[in-house]
Structure 1
Amino acid sequence: MTLTARVGSETTAALRSFLRRRTAVFFTFFFPVIIILIFGALVGTQPTGGGLFAEPPAYYLPGYLAVVVLFTPLSRVGSEVARHRAGNRFEKLATTPLSRTEWLLSHTLVNVGIIGVAALVIFVLVVVVTGAEIPLTADLALVVPFVALAVTLFCGVGALLGRIADSQDGVIAASNGIAVPLLFLSETFVPPSLLPAWFVPALSLSPLTYFARGVRNVTYPAAGGDPLPNLAVLGALTVVFFAAGAFALPRTD
């Protein structure tokens, strides 16, 4: 069996497994939509008015996208690893030609596809609901690799959590404990100007910061800057975290 056949078979099985969990499918799309409706429509932004949402609506698009590229792969892949460990499935996997890297790649492809669709829905809703003005330029296509790389990176982190945590409940608790601080301390919803000066350099320690900066470079012209350096750093971090996640997957239980 070829590499393509092995990965394709596992990807198909993982996709069917996800689609059978209707609650997971529903909240993958419902949660970011609620965030947009609450903060984009009900709370609204107040440009130059001060406060947390003092920037124009387009400024917060990376934050809305960050909700799905961060929370979904962490919880889904982490829970899947924990579920496989509880059912001794990695021991059975070791008897097949499918390697740990191929297993993680298959589940990552499913997440990239699902979250890619969710990101498109979010993009449209942000424009329609909040009135964000997104320039239609050739650079806008860079949002696709930014989303794909960020999802892959956090799939790797999710695999690490699934290996370290002792149960699915532990994975969910750990993923929330990591995701919530990252979501608000990665130049997503909170501008650096609202943070203490001594803390601002620490923003560069978060992989999500490079996603937010890069997407904002593309979708919010007032931010300025070149998105390619952020894409390069995000790509390098993705390789590191994906490799670490694949290495951490157990051979047996």
Structure 2
Amino acid sequence: MSRQRRIRSTFVAAARAFTRRKTAVFFTFFFPILLILIFGALVQTRPTGGGLFAREPAYYLPGYLGIVVVFTPLSRVGSTIARHRDGNRFEKLATTPLRRWEWLFAHTLVNAVVIGLAGLLLFVLVLFVTGAEVVVGPGLLALVPLVVVGVTLFCGLGAIIGRVADSQDGVIAASNSVALPVWMLSETFVPPAMLPAWFRPVTDVSPLTYFSRGVRAATEGGDPMGSLLVLAVLALGIFVAGAVAVPRTE
């Protein structure tokens, strides 16, 4: 079997597994929508006031997109590895020509498609619900590689969490422990000026910070390529580490 056929077969199997899990579909698509309705329509922003939501609505677009870019890959890939370990699936896969990076690449493709669709839905909803204004131009096209690269990075991190955690419950706990602070403190909902001076350099360590900067530059008519390049380098390194972490046997 050729490499393309191996990846395609794994992709199809992973896609079917996702659609069969109704809870995963719900939280991927409808939970972020609920947050937009709460924060965008009920809480709203106060551009002339103070507080957490003191910026223009478009400022928080990376935060809304980050919900699916961070949480979904971490939990899905990590939980899949935990389930495969419990069912001794990796021992069976070890007898096939499928390589670890091919397995992770196929699952990353599934996440990229699913999260791409969810991200498009969120983007449109944010524009209509919050009244966010974006600069329409070629820069908006950079949103596609930003999402794909971001998903790749957190799929790799999810694989590492799935290898380290000893159960599906452990994966969920670890994923939430990593995702929540990263999501909140990576120049998404909390502007750097609101953070203590000693903590601000820490945000530069977070990969999601470069995702946020890239999305913000793409929607404001700026140049997102610098942030995209940094994110791509980080994604490559973490994806390789994640591929190495995918178990072969237990």
Band of TM-score, shorter chain: over 0.9
Aligned partner letter, 1:181: P
What is residue 18 of structure 2 aligned with on the other side? 18
Distance in 1, matches of 2:87 and 2:230, equals 37
Number of positions where the alignment pairs a residue of Structure 1 with one of Structure 2: 250
Distance in 2, matches of 1:16 and 1:114, equals 12
What is residue 55 of structure 1 aligned with on the other side? 55
Distance in 2, matches of 1:125 and 1:226, equals 24
What is residue 252 of structure 1 aligned with on the other side? 249
Distance in 1, matches of 2:48 and 2:243, equals 46
Asked if the contact 2:139–2:223 (Cα under 8 Å) also holds between the matched residues in 1, the reply is no
Distance in 2, matches of 1:130 and 1:239, equals 34
Please state how far the C-alpha of 1:139 moved relative to its aligned partner: 0.6
Stretches (4+) displaced over 2 A: none
Gaps of 5+ in 1: none
Aligned partner letter, 2:241: A
Aligned partner letter, 2:111: N
Distance in 1, matches of 2:184 and 2:197, equals 16
% identical equivalent positions? 65
Residues 96-121 of structure 1, C-alpha deviation per residue, up to 9 Å, x if partnerless? 01100000000000000000000000
Distance in 2, matches of 1:198 and 1:162, equals 32
Please state how far the C-alpha of 1:2 moved relative to its aligned partner: 1.1
Residue correspondence of structure 1 range 60-209 to structure 2 within 5 A: 60-209=60-209
Aligned partner letter, 2:57: P
TM value normalised by structure 1: 0.97
Asked if the contact 1:59–1:220 (Cα under 8 Å) also holds between the matched residues in 2, the reply is no
Asked if the contact 2:11–2:110 (Cα under 8 Å) also holds between the matched residues in 1, the reply is yes
Asked if the contact 2:186–2:212 (Cα under 8 Å) also holds between the matched residues in 1, the reply is yes
Residues 204-239 of structure 1, C-alpha deviation per residue, up to 9 Å, x if partnerless? 110100000110011135xxx531111000000000
Superposed CA RMSD in Å reads 0.8
Aligned partner letter, 2:242: G
Please state how far the C-alpha of 1:135 moved relative to its aligned partner: 1.3
Asked if the contact 2:160–2:241 (Cα under 8 Å) also holds between the matched residues in 1, the reply is yes
Please state how far the C-alpha of 1:23 moved relative to its aligned partner: 1.6
What is residue 235 of structure 1 aligned with on the other side? 232
TM value normalised by structure 2: 0.99
